[in-house]
Every structure is written in structure tokens, then in C-alpha cells.
Structure 1
Amino acid sequence: MSKLALRAVVGSLLLSAAFGASAAKSAYQDLELSGVMQEIPGVSLRCASKFGGTILGYGSSALLGRVTFLSSDCINQNGTSYTFSDGKFMITTMTGELLFADYNGQFVPTGEGTKYVFTNASFSITGGTGRYFKATGSGAITGGEDMATGQGTIQLKGRILLKK
């Protein structure tokens, strides 16, 4: 085999190994986060309804560690239920890295006073900073809130792909 052909074969093998190694590092991982939250409803000029909510909270995740989060969304009332849309979620890890997601869904009454639960709620990861810069993924949002106090719980469960 000539030196040129040998170099081409070795180069191809090294390139294939490099692509294979980087692909192996970009695997989906389970993402679960549980937390407590406080929603503050009010006027939101970015919303067609001119009404929205700001949510602040904290929680923990096996993948992310301890986190804080901040979000805002638009709220529309549909009888006794509410739809939240155009939601923007920002999760901050203890290392200062950020994870961004869009979200939407509904909250419906439980029949117990002013308690509501999230239903048909989902999130879609749109990126972040640090190791989450090119992250993608999606999942479901569950939990609930007392509409009289704005206090509640939230759980995110889905998958995340960290791209190198």
C-alpha cells in the first residue's frame, strides 16, 4: 500500500473515531426536577390578554442539583379553568449555569377550595449557558397551585440532550 493511501485510511479511521466519540457524549438523559413555587399574577403587556404570571421558586434535580427558577407566562381564563401560554422558564444551577425552556398548558380546579392542578402542561428546552448552551429536550409539567395564595409545587419530567 502506498504511503498516500495509508495516510488516507488512517486519517479516515481517526476522523470516524472522533465523530463516534463526540456522538457518544451527546446522549439523551433523564431530567426530573421537583420544587416549590410562588406565582405572582398581574398585568403583562407582552400578552394578548394583558394578564400573566411570574413564578419564582427553588427545587432539586438528580441531574442539575439544587436549582432556583424564574418564569413568566400569559394567562387566559376559560370558565373555571385557565390556560397559560408563551411561557419562558429559566433554571439557575448552583454553579451559575442557566437552562432555558418554553412552556404552556392549563390549570384546572381540583374541587377543593382554590386549589388547581396543572394539566396538559409541557416544556421544551431551548438552550442555556455553559454545558447547557446547545441543550434541547422536552417533557411534562405536573404540580398544582392554590389560586388564593399563589403557592404551589411543580415537577418537570422529561429528557435533555446536552450537545458538545
Structure 2
Amino acid sequence: MDIATIWDAAQSRGDWAVPMPAAFLRDSNGRSVIGADGFAVRASGAPAAGLLTGADIETAVLISLFTDAAAGADDIIPDGTGDPRGWWADPTIGSKLWLLARAKRTPQNLQLAIAYIRQSLGWLTTDGVASAIDVAAEWQAGGRLAGQIVVAHAAGSTSVPFDYAWKDLA
């Protein structure tokens, strides 16, 4: 069973979604147990427990983008700590977007961000999950890097929007 990860751009946070079998979409009084946000709720209005399955491509993209890949020996660590981050078991998993957290929003850094995104998703084509990946990104108001990733795969294509909060210097 796969776990679906979701990204809430408005809140700048990731989460896991909640599954509800069709039989549980209404409570004993016939009221919907799916809240306005699309998530399951208890009768009290509190979020229900559980994880949504499916959305495999979206989950893979979000984990790849928002997990920190380890910095290389020639990368400059933006917080000055020298901590290369990354996962000890496989430092190549994730993206290096975090290295640009304090970079200026320039056309050159936009291209570097797109390159980091493509690099973080490269495993999808290498492993045969996807036949092609298309990345479009732009600077948006409020210090955000936002865009769309389209993953072509055997079942068609999956479009995944992304939004990354930017703490630029200027």
C-alpha cells in the first residue's frame, strides 16, 4: 500500500491525506464525513485518522522536491553551518533547492532551481517510472518559486503543481 503525500501551497506545508472507503462517506445521520477541504472528518469536526493510498506519482514528486539532498563538496551552505544535510542512508535522495533558500531571485537562479528540480526527479526516468518529465517554473509575488511538473508515464501523464517559499536576499 502506498501513502499519498499532499502539498498545501497556501500553508507551505506537506501532509498525508486521509482515506475513507465509500461506505464511510456518510455518518449514521446521512451527513458527509468529508470536510470542505476534501479530508475526512469525525462527527466532532476533528480530522479523522488514517492515510490515503494512491497518488503515487504526486507523492514521489513531492518527496523528491521537498526532501533535502546532500550538498556536494563545492556547494555553498546558505546558513553558514557547514551542515550538508541529506539522508545518511542515501544522500542523493531529494533536491538541492534548499541551497538556494537565501539566493536572489534572478533568472540565473531560476534556471539553477529548475536544474535542481530536474535532478531530484531524474530517478523517475532512470527507474522506468516515467518516460519524460517537464518542468515549468517562475518567480511569483511574495518570494515564491512556483510551477508545474508534468510526469509522462505508462498510464498517461500526471501534473503536479509546486510552490516553494523563498527567503531571498533582494
TM-score bracket for the superposition, by shorter chain length: under 0.3
More strand by share: 1
Higher relative contact order (CA 8 A, sep 6+): 1
More helix by share: 2
Q: TM-score, normalised by structure 2?
A: 0.27
Rg bigger for which structure?
1
Q: TM-score, normalised by structure 1?
A: 0.28
